[in-house]
A and B are shown apart, each in its own frame.
Chain A
Amino acid sequence: MNSLIRSTARCLRSGAAVYPPRQADGRVWSASARFLCASAGLQKDLGQMVKKDKVVVFMKGTPAQPMCGFSNAVVQILRMHGVDDYAAYNVLEDSELREGVKTFSNWPTIPQVYFSGEFVGGCDILLQMHQNGDLVEELKKLGISSALLEAEKESK
C-alpha cells in the first residue's frame, strides 16, 4: 500500500511540478502552455504507471473503499481471482489524473484496467472476461494463478 501512495504522490507531484513563468506583477501568463506541459508530463507518467505493475486499475475510491459500483465490481472480480496485489489509482483525488487517463487510454469512463501495460477495458469487459473464463487465461499470462482455478482443482 505504501508503494501505491508513493506512486500516486509521484504522479500528483509531476502533474503539478510545472510552474508557469510569472510576470513582475505576479500575473500568470500562458496558462494554456502550463496545462499542456502538465498534461504532457502526466501522459508520460501514465505511460510509466501502467507498466510498473502487472495489474493497474484507475478507479473511483480505493480497493478498501470503492466509491462507485462499477469500480467496486472490478475490485470484487479481482478479489475473487485472488488478485490483491495491484496498483490502484483513485481518480477522485486528482481531477487531472481523471481526465489524463481518459486521454491516455482513449477511453471515456472509469474504471480502467491495465494488464502488463496493455489496456484491457472497463468493468463490462472485465466482467465478461470473468464470466467466459478469459480472465483466468489472461492472469496466467501475467504469471498470476487465479484463486478460482485453485479452488476448482481442490474441488476435484
Chain B
Amino acid sequence: MLPTVLRCVRPISTSLALSRPLAHFRPPMDPDPSRPIERSIRSKLTDALDPVHLEVHNESHMHAVPPGSESHFRVLVVSSQFEGLPLIKRHRLVNEALKKELSSCVHALSIQAKTPEQWRSDPSLAKSPPCMGGSRGDHTVEEKLKAGRE
C-alpha cells in the first residue's frame, strides 16, 4: 500500500511544507495490470529517460474524480539525462515522453526530475497540494476520464 503521507488531509494552509522525506525503504512499485495508464507512463519514462529510479503515483483518488480513475499522476524520475539541464527542460523531456497520455486521459501531472546526485542528497518525494475540487463539473476532465476508460 502507498504510504499515508501521500494522502492529503490537511486543510488549505499558507504554509507550504510540501516536502517530507520518506523512509529509505519503499514498498515495491509493482505495475498494476488493471491500470493501463500507469503502466504506459512507467514504460514510456523508462524508455525515454533510462532512469536509475522511477516512481509513478496515481493521485486520482486525491481529486474530485470517480474511484479507479487514472487522471492525476505524480512522477519522480531520477536520470543522468537531466544533468546540466534546468528544471524547465527536464520537465519538457518528461512531458514529451508522455505526450500521448497528456493529450488524451491524463489531466494533471506533477513532476520531480532529479539527477542521481540530487536524489542521493535528497531522496524525498514532494507532496501534492490539497485538491480544491476544480475537476468536479469540468468538462475537459470528463472528456479525459472518458478517454481513459476507452
Point out residues on A near B: beta carbons under 8 Å: 60-61, 66-73, 76-77, 79-80, 92, 95, 98, 106-109, 119-125, 127-131
B88 CB-CB contact with A under 8 Å? yes
Residue of A nearest to B19 (CB): A131
Among A70, A80, A98, A108, which residue has its beta carbon within 8 angstroms of that of B129?
A: A70
Contact at A124–B126, with CB atoms within 8 Å? yes
> How far, in angstroms, from A32 to B112 measured CA to CA in the complex?
38
> Please, which residues of chain A bring their CB within 8 A of the CB of B92?
106-107
Contact at A109–B126, with CB atoms within 8 Å? no
- Please tell me the size bucket of the interface on B: 20 to 34
B81 CB-CB contact with A under 8 Å? no
Residue of B nearest to A74 (CB): B129
Contact at B18–A127, with CB atoms within 8 Å? yes
Contact at A69–B109, with CB atoms within 8 Å? no
Which chain B residues (80-120) contact chain A, with CB distance < 8 Å? 87-88, 91-92, 95, 99, 102-103, 107-112
Q: What number of residue pairs across chains A and B have CB atoms under 8 A from each other?
A: 76
> Please, which residues of chain A bring their CB within 8 A of the CB of B14?
76, 79-80
> How far, in angstroms, from A77 to B13 measured CA to CA in the complex?
11
Subset of 26 A-B contacts with CB under 8 Å: A68-B132, A68-B135, A69-B8, A69-B128, A70-B128, A72-B12, A76-B16, A80-B14, A80-B16, A92-B138, A98-B140, A107-B92, A107-B95, A108-B95, A108-B99, A109-B107, A119-B88, A121-B87, A123-B129, A124-B111, A124-B112, A124-B126, A125-B88, A127-B16, A127-B126, A130-B16
Contact at A61–B134, with CB atoms within 8 Å? yes
B131 CB-CB contact with A under 8 Å? yes
> Please, which residues of chain A bring their CB within 8 A of the CB of B110?
70, 123-124
> Please, which residues of chain A bring their CB within 8 A of the CB of B66?
none
B36 CB-CB contact with A under 8 Å? no
> Please, which residues of chain B bring their CB within 8 A of the CB of A124?
87, 91, 110-112, 126
Point out residues on B near A: beta carbons under 8 Å: 8, 12, 14, 16, 18-19, 87-88, 91-92, 95, 99, 102-103, 107-112, 126, 128-135, 138, 140
Contact at B133–A67, with CB atoms within 8 Å? yes
> Please, which residues of chain A bring their CB within 8 A of the CB of B131?
68-69
CB distance from A64 to the nearest CB of B (A): 13
Contact at A77–B16, with CB atoms within 8 Å? yes
> How far, in angstroms, from A119 to B103 measured CA to CA in the complex?
20
Residue of B nearest to A120 (CB): B88
> How far, in angstroms, from A72 to B129 measured CA to CA in the complex?
8
> Please, which residues of chain A bring their CB within 8 A of the CB of B138?
92
Contact at A125–B132, with CB atoms within 8 Å? no
> Please, which residues of chain B bring their CB within 8 A of the CB of A127?
16, 18, 126
Besides the contacts A73-B129, A109-B108, what 15 more A-B pairs have beta carbons closer than 8 Å?
A66-B132, A67-B132, A68-B132, A68-B135, A69-B130, A70-B128, A76-B14, A106-B92, A107-B95, A109-B109, A119-B88, A121-B87, A121-B88, A123-B110, A124-B91
